[in-house]
Chains A and B, each alone.
Chain A
């Protein structure tokens, strides 16, 4: 009887080992043989908008690579880069990016595309931001009306931009009307829509959500709302294990004529979401 049980225990052990090793050969996925994995920590907007699903496959095919996309806010993406847990970062907070490179964590910040931020809100526009001349004035009116505003609150590029505008408007945002939710762009648009609240969003993500939400653009066009995206390879001097060569190849891909064409050609509902840098 004990021999029988030992056999059961042995099969259990074998099963455990098998299941622990299987991840390498996971079924049901388009895994290329011997593909190299490249970890890309990116802002949620590039992922949530669907751009990366268009931009990455040609790169993956050409370099026999699989890009693992970790979609988080820019602040967290930079943090993942600092810890060495990603090879390449795709982010949109120029000041934070410059600091990242200056501290030696990134090799170089390459500016490769842009879009702009828009102020979203309910059609009734209770704070009356519609007719304002500058975005800081629009924000000041929201604060004055104590109209509900949903903030990313996650140190993402959009959050950094939003804080910059509040500072410019010289507004104290403590109050129940100002809600920091600590979530990605898509979640925040969904939340703001449910609450019929105001929020600052990048146009790319907003356009990819436009079909499902009833809040709309109430203010746009201020030069302050320009939203440049950068791509940075993590510096192997800080983290020797990073895949620099493949990372550089990805940077070359997104700035190449093909990459620019894919970015410019990506449309949701007929609208262009991102614009390749045209220096």
Chain B
């Protein structure tokens, strides 16, 4: 690393180098797709956790909370063993494709969405669900209304999950294989390309990743702190 690499990095950013763009696109694409999948599956589960009683709820909630810190390489290993040609889903031929990375990152993001949606909604008026039921709302209508009431909690859960997956390297590396133009992401490129002496590209990618991370965090802050009438958090 030296001044020349830094200048070259800035040059790559200014001209928006084709490879830099492709890698950034991959990263954002995998993270957005996996976060959306996790949001679609995780939000209803979080609502159920917040407003319904069921057996062993405390244990399930605690387990979900623990899974928020799921090590990325463990998820990589798990999904790898499922998707490999020698695994149960091998017939799909998904190893080392973008889909494999998206699946892995969705698994990573899911407990975060569930846990944070639950945490946010649990603070809403517990009678909300009952009231809605009394008013004759269907289950879907109740869920939609609850999510609307606690939308800031839901959005910040999703943004937090996005922040986690966009910066992770374990599953992206193990499931995507860092294939150039195909599954190479900002994090796998920084991890592996730095070794090859491609410092300039790594620095430029690092700047992009930091910008994304800051953007998401500022967005979160804005939502949580400066929204008037914010009841959810």
Chain A residues in the interface with B (C-beta under 8 A)? 1-2, 5-6, 9, 12-13, 15-16, 19-20, 22-23, 26-31, 39, 48, 66, 68-71, 82-85, 183-184, 186-187, 190, 208-209, 211-212, 239, 241
Contact = CB atoms under 8 A, between A and B. Distances in A.
A186 B198 CA distance: 11
B181 A16 contact: no
Contacts of B96: 39, 68, 70, 85
* Closest 8 pairs (CB-CB, A-B): A84-B85, A23-B98, A19-B33, A16-B36, A186-B195, A29-B181, A28-B22, A187-B195
B10 to A, nearest CB: 20
B139 interface: no
Contacts of B86: 82-85
A245 B96 CA distance: 21
Interface string B75-90: 0000000001110001
A16 B40 contact: yes
B26 to A, nearest CB: 7
B21 A83 contact: no
A59 to B, nearest CB: 15
The binding surface of chain B is classed by DSSP as helix
A266 B70 CA distance: 44
A239 B85 contact: yes
B30 to A, nearest CB: 8
A27 B179 CA distance: 15
A2 B84 contact: no
B182 interface: yes
Nearest to A211: B197
Given A29-B181, A68-B177, A70-B179, A83 B84 contact: yes
Nearest to A190: B195
Contact of A1 (B39, B93, B148): B148
Contacts of A69: 179-180
Contacts of A211: 197
Contacts of A212: 197
A241 B85 contact: yes
Nearest to A67: B179
A172 to B, nearest CB: 30
B178 interface: yes
Contacts of B21: 28
Contact of B196 (A2, A48, A84, A85): A48
Contact of A20 (B102, B144, B179, B195): B102
A5 B148 contact: yes
A202 B223 CA distance: 54
Given A6-B144, A28-B18, A70-B179, A85 B95 contact: yes
Interface string B35-53: 0110110000000000000
A211 B183 CA distance: 29
Nearest to B38: A16
Contact of B36 (A15, A31, A71): A15
Contacts of A30: 181
A12 B40 contact: yes
A62 to B, nearest CB: 18
Q: Which of B36, B85, B192 has the most CB of A within 10 A?
A: B85
A23 B179 contact: no
Contacts of A66: 181-182
Interface string B202-220: 0000000000000000000
A157 to B, nearest CB: 17
A85 B22 CA distance: 24
B16 to A, nearest CB: 10
B32 interface: yes
A184 B195 contact: yes
Nearest to B20: A28
B77 to A, nearest CB: 13
Given A20-B37, A186-B195, A85 B85 contact: yes
B64 interface: no
26 contacts: A2-B144, A5-B145, A5-B148, A15-B36, A16-B33, A16-B36, A16-B40, A19-B36, A23-B97, A23-B98, A23-B102, A26-B22, A26-B26, A27-B25, A30-B181, A66-B182, A68-B96, A68-B177, A70-B96, A70-B179, A71-B178, A85-B85, A85-B86, A184-B192, A186-B196, A211-B197
